[in-house]
Each structure stands twice: as structure tokens, then as C-alpha cells.
Amino acid sequence: MRELDLLLERFLESCYDTLTDADKEGFSQFLEEPNERLMAWLLEGTDPADAKYKALVGRIRAYR
């Protein structure tokens, strides 16, 4: 899980200020998902079934 923490921390430091208020709210909701699900989406390449997370996951993956 350390890899996930580092990825999210770097994304926050570099990109959070560029997010819209709606995107920031979505990011807060995103972080409430179980760590296993976040790892699958961000580190294993699984696409989220919930459409509200697809753009955010793509953005974080691209940052990686």
C-alpha cells in the first residue's frame, strides 16, 4: 500500500490545486473507496465500474 500512498501524495502535491471544486469533491469521495479497489484502479490497470471515477483514475494514471 505504500506505493499507493506515494502515488496519491505526489498527485495531491502536484495537481490538486488544478482540480475544480467538483473534482476535489469527487477526489474526496474517491479516497473513501477501499484501498484494495484504489490499488486495482491505479496500480493494476482495472477500470472503475463507476463512471464518476473514470476521468479521475485516468488523470492519476497519466500523472504516474
What is the Cα Rg of the chain in Å? 11
Residue 12 lies in a domain: no
Residue 15 lies in a domain: no
Tens-of-pLDDT digits for all 64 residues of the chain?
A: 799 999 999 999 999 999 999 999 999 999 999 999 999 999 999 999 999 999 999 999 998 7
In contact, 57 and 47? CB cutoff 8 Å: yes
The number of distinct structural domains making up the chain is: 1
Residue 24 lies in a domain: yes
Domain that holds residue 30: 2-7+20-63
How far apart are alpha carbons 29 and 3 in whole angstroms? 20
Degrees, nearest 5: CA angle 2-58-11 = 45
pLDDT of residue 64: 75
Please enumerate in sequence order all residues whose Cβ is within 8 A of that of 48, keeping only pairs 6 or more positions apart, or say none: 37, 41, 54, 57
pTM of the model: 0.88
